[in-house]
Amino acid sequence: MVSAATIKEAVYLVVAAIPSGHVMTYGDIAAMAGWPGRARMVGQLLGSLPEDTQLPWWRVVNAGRTISRRGLTGHDDLQRLILVEEGVTFETNHKIPLRYFYRPASVG
């Protein structure tokens, strides 16, 4: 059985590898980390990061190509601002164009 620490480490390694100006979905990160179908788990791990983390959590978006709502603790505006600073643009429907999606060869 794989430990929670190993899963967390695998997810963090994938997120750390997303280049500036690109994004990946929670589901693609789960698949790359060896846990396909566990997009929610990725969201939970990223949601528990400390405020001062250097891990580029802002480069992770949902399968609808939009920023996920974060409720009362929200960083929705911050995430959008950082992505725009990195050169990512948004369509009028708040979706991120496919050209910004990082697709390593090993992701489906």
DSSP letter assigned to residue 25: E
What number of other Cβ atoms are within 10 A of residue 61's Cβ?
22
User: Which residues are bridge partners to 101 per DSSP?
Assistant: 23
pTM over cut 0.85: yes
Say if residue 108's pLDDT is above 60: no
Q: Which domains does the chain have, with CATH numbers?
A: 4-100 (1.10.10.10)
Q: What's the pLDDT score for residue 51?
A: 87
Q: 35-75: per-residue pLDDT in tens?
A: 999 999 999 999 999 989 999 999 999 999 999 887 555 55
Identify each DSSP E strand in the chain by its residue range: 24-25, 60-61
pLDDT tens-digit map of 14-41: 999 999 999 999 999 999 999 999 999 9
d(CA 4, CA 92): 39
Query: What length is written for the chain?
Result: 108
